[in-house]
Amino acid sequence: MRRPPLRSALRAATRPARLLLVAKTALAVGIAWFIARYMPGVTDEYPYYAPLGALVSMYPTLMGSVKSGLQTILGLAAGIGLASIIVLTVGPTWWSIPIVVGLGVLLSGTGWFGAGREYVPMAALFVLIIGGQNADDYSLGYLTQMSVGVVVGLVVNLIIAPAPLTAEATADLERFREKLAAHLHDVGDAVSDSWPPEKEHWAEDAASLSDTASELRLALVEADESRRGNPRAWGQRAATDEAHAQLEALERIAQHIRDVSDTIADTIWGRPGAIDLDPALPAPLTAACHAVAEVIALQDASTPEAHRIRGEATRTVRLLLETVDDRTIELRQSIGPGVLAAMHLRRILILSRPPADSPSAEVR
């Protein structure tokens, strides 16, 4: 996997949401360490496990913290249970320890323990090796202090609730919208450029559009997760629904743009299946690509300026279709790239319409 540039990596690590998680994690670890030293009985002999419990329970989302904390406790309990069987039977030996660790690894692969799967064999190993003759006391201290840390982490994450990730996901959507518009502008420039075009990145970037869409879908899933149980997300359901609808439309637009890009690239570089572009088509095709790209870039499709831009795009696509029809009649043959591009551009305009508009009001 290609590593992100240093600047992008630093920007991701210093985002406000990430810095808030850093501060809360440090606070939870400190509180857990303070409480652990005052735990009753033998548990106070193992205070170092409480900060570890707080650490593993800290996730960017509330529900992620709850799930991780509970799964960690469940994994610990399972590992301790495996070790207890050995302690009560044959005892820790050179052959029983590897067997119980192997069983722990096998059990962790069931998918029952989620984030706590690594703690199944780890807890079993610690109880047998570190606990030794005091396995009972160690098991109690280990599980109790980890639980204390998990509870502290959950309380801190609840009191200082993380901001929902909806705003970040929405900003990513807008950047994707801008990327799609820029890509279609590049395609329009390539059609009218000298062949082969000097700039080839638009053809190479077409394949990355679907990858970007997949990343955005994952970001929206994380945004939905960040809202669950979060008091700071109350009343924001409509915003999330709208973001999902926008992503679905942008994904389909990306598919159409990629088809247009591939068709033009095939023609320019003479790839297998390429169809020659009629000399009368570059000008209207370029104009249509640029006009439709302006529609894609619109953030608010309800303004008068947006209606003007949409009207201009509708006109340019209609002119492209008329040129294709005229040349088809004159030459008595299909004008392949023009037909395909016009079809996809029409679909993009329909997908970019405001929600209140009906499909019948679109390109005719």
**Helices (H) then strands (E): counts for the chain:** 14, 0
Residues 62-79 have pLDDT tens digits of 788 888 899 999 999 999
What mean pLDDT comes out for the span 100-119? Answer: 92
Type of residue at 57: S
Residues 286-306 have pLDDT tens digits of 999 999 999 999 888 778 888
What mean pLDDT comes out for the span 1-19? Answer: 70
Whole-model pTM: value is: 0.64
Structural tokens at position 15: 């985002």
Residues 83-99 have pLDDT tens digits of 999 988 888 888 999 99
Q: Return the top range by mean pLDDT from 226-230, 254-258, 326-330.
A: 254-258
DSSP letter string, 5-53: PHHHHHHHHT-HHHHHHHHHHHHHHHHHHHHHTT-SGGGGG-TTHHHHH
Give the pLDDT confidence score for residue 1 in this predicted structure.
Answer: 44
DSSP letter string, 275-341: -PPPTTSHHHHHHHHHHHHHHHT-S-TTSHHHHHHHHHHHHHHHHHHHHHHHHHHHHTS--HHHHHH
100-104, 233-237, 339-343: range with lowest mean pLDDT: 233-237
Contacts by residues 89-98 (CB-CB < 8 Å, ≥ 24 positions apart): 92/128, 92/129, 92/132, 96/128, 97/125, 97/128, 97/129
